[in-house]
Amino acid sequence: MEEMANNFIHEVIDEDLLTDPGLKIHTRFPPEPNGYLHIGSAKAIWINSQTAKKYGGLFNLRYDDTNPTKEGDEFVKSIYEDLCWLGAEPTGGVFYGSDYFDKCYEFAVRLIRQGDAYVCDLTADEMREYRGTLTEPGKPSPWRERSVEENLDLFERMKNGEYPDGAKTLRAKIDMASPNMNMRDPAIYRIVHTPHHRQGNKWCIYPLYDFAHPIQDALEGITHSLCSIEFENHRPLYDWVVEHVGFDPRPHQYEFARLNVTHTVMSKRYLRQLVETGLVDGWDDPRMPTLCGLRRRGYTPASIFDFVARAGVSKAYSVVDHELLEHCIREELNETALRRVAILRPIKVTVTNYPEGKTEYFELPNHPQHPELGTRKVPFSRHLLIDVDDFALDPPPKFFRLKPGGEVRLMGSYLLKYEDVKLDADGKVEEILCTVDLETGNGNPADGRKVKGTIHWLSERESIPVTAKLFDELFTIENVNDIPEDKGYGDYLNVNSVTDLPNARVEASLADAKPGERFQFVRVGYFVKDTKYENTFNRIVGLKDSYKV
């Protein structure tokens, strides 16, 4: 896992340790199990886990399962799988927010007894109306001054299921004139008659995140609650809850900028919509920014954390170019991926001066920069396949691949010379007729002539048919945060974000490729054997790296 450079969070911790040298640093990652984790989640995981590791502390995974209407075991399982895949072990343990429901209820009763909370009968719309605006203070609820006894009775009856959803809320009594809207008597409990995925029908009232989260942090001994910047305005409420419940020692919240990536949506709500409407092939669609989608696409934990580390830790808003992520995986795979031959758009070549039925083998390196990885034998025969892009009947200037009157090197084997072409009824090339210089197998021609172009090839008979999938950005707009108010994500969905090549062919050595195994298809790009569909290879990234480091 990529080590974390010093940043403002570490400066805060260093100061805390000067004051209290015995402080045991304890962080957490609190995902809501209502969807699959995405690459933005990877930043929060990396920051929290690596901060704990740097200071010899503990790192918790805690499921924020306080809203039963959207949560489920499918997402609980996927979150844990993603953490394990990333190598971010929850050294402090795995917890569930729902395990603290009894304590949250107990502390809510404490706030009522202290006069710090009250039961309110305003509807959601009325609450918004009473809340005020950024320039005008809010109005107190007509039920703000209920007695402690009445509030205790009503809250108990809420718990016992006497009221329908939305009929009442429990609100913190803070300051309706606060310049921070989050402090204007926020709701801390609501009625939801929905069974919980772990608690069943035990509860019909549930604490809201801003109330439950600081309590959970405090009960688990979290010292530094590190979260994304949208929670900055919620920090005063976090501190208020910790103080008024009476915790000592107290956890503290610190915020960092979210990870925004070009051409990428991080909204779990919209990602769920893409899945449920069938616009993508599930949460693990290789075009999705989900961690399971990136995994299926062929990205590695190391490349993702390398990307997060290079993006940096700060409070400043920024949008990171997705090409940096591509650069990180390309850099890794250039060193680690075995080389193989694939023809994505095959066109037939017949070598007219090579005997029918004969097969010979040429050795190709598994990795040119790592001879210790050995070689494999690739068969050569009379009938070959080359990529359609490596031939042109009417070539542009400086076209150094196969063309009329031209000659190219077949990678690792003979020189190939164009002789003629067969066209179909529509005038399209059906077959190219060529000859090879049989004296040039892996060597130079005796007459010293120079051949500039080298192309890859496969024997038609021994190659394996597969489907290759090429992916592009899922969204056409670079910064999805710049979408006009009258538009939505759907207006910028890239309808050409995937290209299926069902007639691709690969060398026979890939017959034993395992799902998830990565390769460089020479001259083509980096590919991974798909984990969902047989005989399918997904392009991870191309070979060309345009990102400027």
- Residue 178: which CATH number? 3.40.50.620
Q: Where are the beta strands (DSSP E) in 294-387?
A: 319-320, 338-340, 342-343, 346-351, 360-365, 375-380, 383-387
Element (H, E) at 336: helix 322-336
pLDDT at 39: 96
What mean pLDDT do residues 14-42 have?
96
Same domain, residue pair 322 and 361: no
CATH code, domain with 451: 2.40.240.10
pLDDT tens digits, one per residue of 386-419: 999 999 999 999 999 999 999 999 999 999 999 9
pLDDT at 548: 67
Q: How far is CA 58 from CA 41, 91, 131, in A?
A: 19, 5, 39
Confidence band of 446 (pLDDT split at 50, 70, 90): confident
Same domain, residue pair 35 and 140: yes
Q: How far is CA 19 from CA 13, 176, 448, in A?
A: 10, 36, 77
Same domain, residue pair 346 and 444: yes
What mean pLDDT do residues 307-316 have?
93
Length of the chain: 549
Same domain, residue pair 20 and 168: yes
Same domain, residue pair 15 and 73: yes
Active site residue 268: yes
Q: Which of 77-91, 103-117, 279-293, 430-444 has the lowest mean pLDDT?
A: 430-444
State which residues form the domain around 384. Answer: 342-456
What mean pLDDT do residues 98-116 have?
98
pTM: 0.93
Active site residue 310: no
Catalytic residue among 2, 32, 331, 431: 32
- Of 261, 316, 318, 317, nearest to 294 (Cα)? 261
Domain boundary among 408, 426, 456: 456
Same domain, residue pair 421 and 440: yes
Same domain, residue pair 222 and 312: no
Same domain, residue pair 194 and 91: yes
Q: What percent of the chain has pLDDT over 90?
A: 92
In the 8-state DSSP scheme, what is residue 200?
B
Catalytic residue among 146, 159, 268, 409: 268
What mean pLDDT do residues 184-190 have?
98
Same domain, residue pair 252 and 306: no
Domain boundary among 213, 236, 256: 256
Same domain, residue pair 111 and 204: yes
pLDDT tens digits, one per residue of 122-150: 999 999 999 999 999 999 999 999 999 99
Higher-scoring residue by pLDDT: 162, 486: 162
Q: Which of 151-160, 164-173, 489-498 has the lowest mean pLDDT?
A: 489-498
Same domain, residue pair 13 and 148: yes
pLDDT at 481: 85
Query: Buried (b) or exposed (e) across 178-204, using 16+ Cβ within 10 A?
Result: beeebbbbbbbbbbbeeebbbeeeebb
Mean pLDDT for the chain overall: 95
pLDDT tens digits, one per residue of 226-256: 999 999 999 999 999 999 999 999 999 999 9
In the 8-state DSSP scheme, what is residue 253?
E
pLDDT at 408: 96
Beta bridge partners of 465: 505
pLDDT at 70: 87
Q: How far is CA 193 from CA 108, 120, 152, 197, 498, in A?
A: 19, 18, 20, 13, 42
Active site residue 356: no
Catalytic residue among 144, 258, 345, 417: 258
Domain-located, residue 549: no
Domain boundary among 256, 288, 322: 256
Beta strands 169-172 and 187-191: pairing type?
antiparallel
Total count of domains within the chain: 3
